[in-house]
Amino acid sequence: MRLNVQTDYALRLLMHLAINKNALVTIAEVAERYRISRNHLMKVAYVLGREGFVETVRGRSGGLRLRRPPRDICVGDVVRQMEGDFALVECFQDGKSECLITPACKLKDVLHEAMAAFMAALDQYTIHNLVTRNPDLKTLLGSEAA
């Protein structure tokens, strides 16, 4: 399984905001720090805002900050919101499977079980778990906070 780029950027953005919890952070700062596309990051920030993970403060001194404490942001929830499609194989797509063996296939059950285990593992962690007691991350993201 591979997470899409938006999910990767979302998790990185949330970690950056958690590390810099006492400041507003701009899209430009985060994009520059991670060396990623500002446009893609803006789209990710929009989705995270719409889903209640981040708050946007407009204006000249504006920026982003977490809407909820890092302890309340489950990694699994972020992945679910950002991924949208967990169709690992053709038969997982509603009504789109043309595979001959779909009615008798046991592989799809194994893959469903694997996906459930993957998500269960992600559900055990929060953004807080990713940034707490992680001085190297704090150094890389340029903050003394958190």
Element (H, E) at 19: helix 5-19
Q: Who's near 62: CB < 8 A, 6+ residues apart?
A: 24, 26, 56
Domains of the chain: 5-84+126-140 (1.10.10.10)
pTM metric for this prediction: 0.86
**Please, are residues 128 and 75 in contact by the beta-carbon 8 Å criterion?**
no
- Unique residue bearing structure tokens 């982003």: 64
Full pLDDT tens readout for the chain, 146 residues: 788 999 999 999 999 999 998 889 999 999 999 999 999 999 999 999 999 999 999 888 889 999 999 999 999 999 999 997 777 776 666 667 777 887 888 888 898 899 999 999 999 999 999 999 998 998 898 654 43
